[in-house]
Amino acid sequence: MRRNDNSNTTTPDAQAASTPHTSRLTPHASTSHVSRLAPHETRSTRVVKARLLDPFTGRDEIGDLAFRDGVIVANEGHFDETIDASGQWLMPGIVDLCARTRDPGATQKGTMRSESNAAFASGITALCLPPDTKPVIDNTAVVIRVNRIAKAAGGAFVYMLGALTKGLEGDALAEISALKSAGCVGVTNGLAPVANALVARRALEYAASLGMTVHVVPLDAALANNGCAHEGAVATRLGLAAIPVAAEAVAMRQWISLVEDTGGRVHFGRLSSARGVELLAAAKARGLPITADVAAHQLFLTDAALEGFNALAHVIPPLRSAADREALREAVGSGLIDAICSDHQPHELDAKTNPLPLTEPGISALETLLPLSLRLVHDGLLTPLTLAERLVRGPAQVLGLAAKGLSIGATADLCLVDPTHLWLFDATRMNSVGRNTPFIGEAFQGRATRVWRG
């Protein structure tokens, strides 16, 4: 069993005021240490007086929970450690639907060890790796290689999406059956375009015959036209090549039509627009097997973050208007959008120092996934239990993972959260190799204090 302890004692920090005040904030704590338990270390733990949040059963109550050797057990007998979690929330570990570790193939940006341990320290006990590694995850040999790297790294458990097409080149289908047998939990072409609707249909039929979900980042390549900003006033003023909302809408309409024809399952990843939300709602209203997620940064930032040619806010799909952001937030609150993910993409300094259109898109986002999501609770958009649903149950269902709640016998993949802890996000204390985030210096309320992976 692996354990991460972000606190110095088993007693939680004293409760702080609900409104952040910079004079009372603590620095961003470095939490990179993740260890394998030696024989003499704690193997049994009892957490008492916690608010227990189980999105799989709807449980939301103050109580105790015990686990031994990585499995939740009855609260009876002796335990090596007792944690007083008064004022804190205990929930299953977060499942992140999209996080790149850059390993293999781009280890100057991050490694499996650095990024999976950064995830674990941030309350994420499982993450899903897209196939755009080098080499691409399009055959069983690469799946075996990545599994070996992940196992040696420790940290969060790594699931993989296999490539939809060979080399992500968009034309010839990958051996999806072999990828499933090797352990891939879905397939995707990521941001790489599929050659045409016929290839997309055949891929969806192939995946459907195997009971696999096709993960789609809905972005029509022709309409996106290598742009780097939302089509709006900011892009016009800065002279940046724009990506219209139509690029998302057109791609979604095509895949929805193919789902209607084939019955295959599609998951839309990283929605960015109000129009995308409308299309998702219409598809779900017809009972189509479609789910969706949104990156946490899309729920707080808009294209205004690009002012001053801020490359740290360069992401694909782009940050859009305030109206788009509000539509995404409402969809998360209602449950129309099933999950919140990090869309973690660490970069080295040079990748963000060119003129904005030439910089690489993406945010180092593992360490802000939970804190940003907690803002939705503080804003009254989510309850603590629905937060757990968007971060745990929704992603797990998308990936087809067996329920791992707080019931006796479940694996002890757990995250203890102090929702009142006030702290400043400090780049120098990040666990991820990537420092590319626009949230540096921001005040946050709430963080993971203890994390266990059974």
The answer, yes or no, to whether residue 363 has pLDDT greater than 60, is: yes
Is residue 343 annotated as part of the catalytic site, yes or no? yes
357 vs 26, more confident? 357
pLDDT value of position 304: 98
- The catalytic residue among 293, 343, 413, 418 is 343
Contact 311, 283 (CB under 8 A): no
Q: What percent of the chain has pLDDT over 90?
A: 90
The answer, yes or no, to whether residue 353 has pLDDT greater than 50, is: yes
pLDDT value of position 6: 63
The answer, yes or no, to whether residue 331 has pLDDT greater than 70, is: yes
- H helices of 190-313, where? 197-209, 221-224, 233-238, 246-262, 274-285
Q: Mean of the per-residue pLDDT values for the chain?
A: 93
Task: Of 4-13, 65-74, 236-245, give the lowest mean pLDDT range.
Answer: 4-13
The answer, yes or no, to whether residue 58 has pLDDT greater than 60, is: yes
pLDDT value of position 28: 61
Average pLDDT over residues 374-383: 98
pLDDT value of position 26: 61
**Residue partners of 233: CB distance under 8 A and separation at least 6:** none
The answer, yes or no, to whether residue 113 has pLDDT greater than 50, is: yes
What is the band of 38 on the pLDDT scale with cuts at 50, 70, 90?
very low
Length of the chain measured in residues: 454
pLDDT value of position 30: 46
- For 171-215, the pLDDT digits (tens) are 999 999 999 999 999 999 999 999 999 999 999 999 999 999 999
Residue 242: name the closest of 354, 325, 321 by CA. 321
Cα 135 to Cα 97, 105, 150, 160, 162, distances in angstroms: 21, 7, 15, 14, 12
Average pLDDT over residues 112-120: 98
Residue 113 CA neighbour count, 13 Å, CB half:
7
The answer, yes or no, to whether residue 407 has pLDDT greater than 70, is: yes
pLDDT value of position 29: 52
pLDDT value of position 42: 61
The answer, yes or no, to whether residue 306 has pLDDT greater than 70, is: yes
- For 94-110, the pLDDT digits (tens) are 999 999 999 999 999 99
- For 10-34, the pLDDT digits (tens) are 433 333 333 333 334 665 654 433 3
Model pTM score:
0.93
